[in-house]
Amino acid sequence: MSNGATTVERIRLEIEAAIQNGEFVAGERLTETALTHKLKVSRGPLREALLLLENDGIVERQNNKGAVVRKLSRQQLSEFFQMREMFERFAAASCAKRINEAGVRDSFVALYQEAEHLQNGQQARPFSEHDEELHTTILSLANNDTLVRYWRRLRMPLMRLRFITNTTVFDVARSATEHMNILGGILDGDERGAADAIGAHVGRINGIVQRMDQGEFERVFWFAKDITDLPQSIEKAAPQMLQGKLH
């Protein structure tokens, strides 16, 4: 990778991290002057990075405003979940089919054991981290690069889902049980069972999102700046992105 490409990618990741941790809120204008000063970069690579973010659906261009952080509606999120369910059903079935290939089973056994501990209230790390690893592992081990490329277009809503675990409507034990059902299907080599389990799980999370009151919805998906109870580990850490091959 050339130095120019490396600079553009670094800028893209830094802006994503700022959006992820709520420094930039939905609908906020991303001015080139402010960003070049903040990131200590020139306008050329910044514009390239903003174009990549626009292609990924994270920012959008608006007349007389330039680049702004994309603001998702409930309907758009519902459509996102429909696409996510389709992708993840396919990925889970593919993982079940590959379960006896080298290294695949071990990855899912470890996740199953952690889900079992979470179900019993034994939380070694935030549930959101386990959840992100589970879905990323399923996508990665499906062994389909085309699927990964399309999945990257959905990653900003996916990253925001971790904040659902900090709302009053989230049930960790129930989600852990659903994870065990998904992983159990994969470990059994049951393609249909794994696909159905993850489809039901994603559908239920969509239902949670659609039933949120407006305040919680805005906190999770519009990055409200007045929130004081965001998890500290998320505030301080840049998001882990799905990039290229995840293997």
Contacting residues for 182 by C-beta, under 8 A, at least 6 apart: 92, 134, 138, 194, 197, 198, 201
Same domain, 79 and 178: yes
Instruction: Please report the DSSP string for 67-105 in residue order.
Output: EEE----HHHHHHHHHHHHHHHHHHHHHHHHTTTSTTHH
Model confidence at 156, in pLDDT bands (50, 70, 90)? low
Give the pLDDT confidence score for residue 72 in this predicted structure. 81
3-state helix, strand, coil in the chain (%, to 5): 65, 5, 30
Give the burial string for 134-159 (b: 16+ CB within 10 Å, else e).
bbbbbbbbbbbeebbeebbebbbbbb
DSSP string for residues in 202-215: HHHHHHHHHHS-HH
In this model, does residue 89 exceed pLDDT 70?
Answer: yes
Separation CA 36–CA 27 (nearest Å) = 20
- Least confident piece of the model among 94-108, 129-143, 165-179: 165-179
Banded pLDDT at 158 (limits 50, 70, 90): low
Same domain, residue pair 162 and 64: no
Cβ within 8 Å of residue 80, ≥6 positions away = 72, 154, 157
Q: Is 186 found in the same domain as 121?
A: yes
Structure tokens at 11: 């800028």
The reply to whether 45 and 106 lie within a common domain is no
Its pTM surpasses 0.85: no
Whole-number pLDDT of residue 55: 84
pLDDT band, very low/low/confident/very high, at 220 (cuts 50, 70, 90): confident
Q: Would you say residue 110 has pLDDT above 70?
A: yes
Domain that holds residue 184: 74-223
10 Å Cβ neighbour count for 119?
A: 17
- Read off the tokens for 86: 């389709």
Q: Do 138 and 46 share a domain, yes or no? A: no
Domain of 55, CATH number, reads: 1.10.10.10
- Residue with the bigger pLDDT between 130 and 230: it is 130
Cα(152)–Cα(138) distance, integer angstroms? 14
Residue 111 confidence class, pLDDT cut points 50, 70, 90: very high
Kindly report the CATH number assigned to the domain that includes residue 172: 1.20.120.530
pLDDT digits (tens, 9 = 90+) for 32-68: 999 999 999 999 999 999 999 988 778 888 887 889 9
Are 209 and 158 spatial neighbours (Cβ–Cβ below 8 Å)?
no
111 within a domain of the structure (yes/no): yes
Same domain, 129 and 30: no
